[in-house]
Amino acid sequence: MAKTIIPFGPQHPVLPEPIHLSLTVEDEIVTQAVPALGYVHRGLEKLCDIRDYHHMIQIVERVCGICSKIHAMCYCQGLEKMMQIEVPPRAKYLRTIWSELHRVHSHLLWLGLFADAFGFESLFYQYWKIRERIMDINEATTGNRVIVSVNVMGGVRKDLTPEQIRWILTELVAVESELKALEATTLDDYTVKARTVGKGVLTKEQAYELGAAGPTLRGSGIAQDCRQLNYAAFPDLDFEPIVEYGGDSYSRSKVRFRETLQAIDLVRQALHKLPEGEISVKVKGNPSGEGVERVEQPRGELFYYFKGDGTKNLDRLRIRTPTFANIPPLAAMLPGIELADVPVVVLSIDPCISCTER
């Protein structure tokens, strides 16, 4: 049987991210997938040599726009631990609120793209219409829709008024209601199940051995989530990881749908428990030594490594993003599926190439 090597990406009409794969195909069945990274490398980590560590907050926010708030929080938390800075409780809650709002709008964006991959254009618009409510909350409370820039060393730069809190809670009721109305169309439709159930299977053992992260990991039955590490306000919130056990594209999509509803609930909990007090503390000195920090992005575990030499510029900054962790599992999912199913399976890991190639 003749083998054909097909270049998939970095530009593809169905795929929203510039990922590149070399697919070996025999009779429309993928037998091997070899990923290639580096297409959009930007050299952001190197900037820590020339930028003040305070200014680097704005740089790491631009590693990925969709989860910019969580990148900034991971960066600030890591340096605050190194410098033994105690962040006020209210600031921890505010960080959590904006982080979970980012998770909601990231998952809604993905659910829309997932619907579009099947040709469900009206469903795509419905999800992005719901997402606009979250973007309006971001803009009203921080001044920006995507890159909100609220994190500073020692806390946050913005606060929420009682009127804003009441408005957010009202908006979340509408978002939750509109999202639940789309559940049957998204998860019970015959076409969706035909294109996702049993497609791109990643077993529990493979997910563990290949180092999968986020919904890709939890969709294979492993209840691991960095929010269990109890950073920010999560120790005070009722939280359990969302887990599905099929290991296929359907399970991964179901995890994200359920996580969206869970993130709405976490924002609601944090708003109800929001303590009074200051939102930041003054920071003196420069980071010295080494440290690491882990938080949960919408796509999975985000890992930061820091090395400081006592000056205003970090000696080293290393970032490991969840898509980088999910590329080896993706290469294991693709062999054995039909070529027509490749875009949907690739999309099921929610790839973010700007995160991966800094």
Residue 242 annotated in ligand binding:
no
The percent of the chain in helix, strand and coil, each rounded to the nearest 5, is 50, 15, 35
Q: Distance between CA atoms of 75 and 70, rounded to whole angstroms?
A: 9
**Residue 48 known to bind ligand:** no
| Number of Cα atoms under 13 Å in the Cβ half of residue 255 | 32
Share of the chain above pLDDT 70, in %: 97
Nearest C-alpha neighbor of 37 from the set 17, 21, 15, 26? 21
Mean pLDDT value of segment 34-38: 84
Q: pTM for this one?
A: 0.94
Q: Where are the domains positioned within the chain?
A: 37-356
Closest CA to 315 of 44, 42, 53, 58: 53
pLDDT per position as a tens digit, 161-205: 999 999 999 999 999 999 999 999 999 999 999 999 999 999 999
pLDDT by residue (tens digit) across 64-100? 888 899 999 999 999 999 999 999 999 999 999 999 9
Residue 67 assigned as binding residue: yes
Check residue 353 and give its pLDDT.
Answer: 82
CA distance 335 to 306: 37
Spatial neighbors of 323 by CB under 8 A, at least 6 apart, are: 299, 349, 350, 351, 352, 353, 355, 356
- CATH fold for domain 37-356: Cytochrome-c3 Hydrogenase; chain B (1.10.645)
**pLDDT range class, residue 12, cuts 50, 70, 90:** low
Quick one: which H or E segment has residue 22? strand 20-26
The tens digit of pLDDT for each residue in 109-151 reads 999 999 998 889 999 999 999 999 999 999 999 999 989 999 9
Q: What b/e readout covers 282-320, taking b as 16+ CB neighbours within 10 angstroms?
A: ebeebbeeebebebbbbbbbbbbebbbeeeebbbebebb
On whether 293 is known to bind a ligand per the annotation, the reply is no
From CA 12, how far away is CA 6, in angstroms rounded? 12
List beta partners, residue 35.
Answer: 21
Residue 110's pLDDT is 95
- Ligand-binding annotation for 64, yes or no, is yes
